[in-house]
Structure 1
């Protein structure tokens, strides 16, 4: 669970360094995507290796980078993370009713 105090710490880190001036939505979105690509890189060429136990140290760091950019982008755009996550879960619950989706990986249009 990402606590509000953690979110505020990320924002304070930025503000203490006067970096908000560099944080445009475009640049934050690019940075978020680049960090997400680093998560993918952890699994590149891993063949049948579907576990992440040996990757946890780097995965923790890369996920933290992705989350940091998500926090920063939401802040710059005036979005409340709790609100937008709950809205998205509500939409997904409607698209993927438990009785149709449980145990299935099909897209909602195929349920």
Structure 2
């Protein structure tokens, strides 16, 4: 199967592997370092929303939207790399977590209520 035929997350995993290998960066991509880099990128993403009233599209100009898109990409790429190092199938993990959340937050009980599961 060629990279073009792989599901999107697998494609990103292969691309990030190749990118790191070409630069001999695998040595730096430990789970700890990737988790730290991921948290930095999330903070950089959040910074674009700091001091905005809601962060709605109407509050963002084209430059800000582009910067947010790039930060989101950085977050995703580090997440994919960390999942790769930890041998986690992100799609399967997300589906599993959504099923657990559906049990924890039954729609008929929590509809319109933002409280945490242990507060209602």
- Which TM bucket (shorter chain)? 0.7 to 0.9
Q: How does 1:70-81 map to 2 (within 5 A)?
A: 70-81=79-90
Question: Alignment partner for residue 111 of structure 2, among 88, 102, 110?
Answer: 102
Match of 1:66 in 2: 75
1:1-111 superposed matches below 5 A? 2-46=8-52, 48-52=53-57, 53-54=60-61, 55-111=64-120
Which digits, 9 at most, give the CA deviation of each residue in 1:48-104, with x for residues without a partner? 243144231111000100111101111111111112111211111111111112222
Structure 2 regions of 5+ residues with no counterpart? Answer: 1-6
Q: Is the 8 A contact 2:12 2:80 kept in 1?
A: no
SS in 1 for 2:101: helix
Supply the distance in 2 between the matched residues of 1:33 and 1:105 (Cα, whole angstroms): 25
Over 3 Å counting, the alpha-carbon distance change for 1:50 and 1:58 in structure 2 is same
Structure 1 CA distance for aligned equivalents of residues 54 and 96 of structure 2 = 34
Give the number of aligned pairs: 110
Of residues 52-61 and 34-43 in structure 1, the stretch that sits farther from structure 2 once superposed is 52-61
Gapped regions of structure 1 (runs ≥ 5): none
TM-score (norm 1): 0.86
| TM-score, normalised via structure 2 length | 0.81
